[in-house]
Amino acid sequence: MKKVILITGASSGMGKETAKKLIHEGHIVYTVARRIDQMQDLLEMGGHPIKMDVTIEADIDSVIATILKEQGRIDVLWNNAGYGLYGSVEDVPLDQARNQFEVNVFGMAAMTQKVVPIMRKAKSGTIINTSSMGGKMYFPMGAWYHASKHAVEGLSDCLRLELKPFNIHVVVLEPGFIATEFGSVLLNQFENINKDSAYRNMMDKIIEGTKKSEQPGGSSDPKVISDAISKIVNSNKPKTRYKVGKFSKMMPWMRVYLGDAAFDSIVMSQM
């Protein structure tokens, strides 16, 4: 069945690769991101790219109005927009931390609030929220990113129960290491952190590990995400969670079953 799908954060990486697959499958795919120039290939494929910032309500209202005018419905919302903010809790300015939540949590919530009434009226729909394996475990220097993804997990669980009576599915996507721009963005952030930081040695270890994940074999191809999203979109009864990509199952398992002390020791042994 052809579905009307709205994807945020679709200018690169997981969002873009998945949009291509869904367009190829025959779905009507609206892709939104701030960098519309990077979505022209999706337009040429038959997609519907629109410039939008998830932190600007007027942008969201305009996109929703456009889709309803052109299609009359929204069957699937994939809240995929987000980024990782790294640095110690002591060093990261709070205005940057607030923006992390504005994009990763409140942007997702704003999109959801606009789309849910449409799905309720139709008595059907699927909302996919991108969390991370980092929403179930943690690394030092990633407190604000992990906090935002833990929030996505909690919000999604409550939302799932709230929307169950209306036949709206809420699915949490928990990627592991995926070959996207995430690593390069993280490395650029570290370049701007105070070289005299008390956490410099720890940051250097994180940088080293990130560079390894950027090498061939260090991360999973975004195709594993596009395959998972396709499965969710085309399912009448999707699972509540999809752990996809390198380390996505192993690391959260270690966090739960080894306990705090053992997991902390393993993580710090790499620092």
Query: Which burial class, exposed, middle or buried, applies to 106 when counting CB atoms under 10 A from its CB (0-12, 13-18, 19+)?
Result: middle
Coil/strand/helix, residue 194: coil
Question: Is 131 part of the annotated catalytic residue set?
Answer: yes
User: Residues 3, 20, 88, 131: which is the catalytic one?
Assistant: 131
Question: Is 11 part of the annotated catalytic residue set?
Answer: yes
Question: Is 231 part of the annotated catalytic residue set?
Answer: no
Q: How many CB atoms lie within 10 A of CB 165?
A: 9
Task: List Cβ<8 Å contacts ≥24 apart for 255-259.
Answer: 255/136, 255/137, 255/138, 256/136
User: Residues 3, 11, 132, 248: which is the catalytic one?
Assistant: 11
Question: Is 138 part of the annotated catalytic residue set?
Answer: no
| Rounded Cα distance, 186 and 207, in Å | 8
106, 212, 251, 258 from 80: Cα distances, Å: 13, 25, 22, 30
Classify the phi-psi angles of 210: left when phi > 0, otherwise alpha if psi is within -120 to 50, otherwise beta: alpha
Handedness of CA 212, 230, 84, 252 (dihedral sign): negative
User: Residues 136, 149, 243, 246: which is the catalytic one?
Assistant: 149
By annotation, the residues acting in catalysis are 11, 131, 145, 149
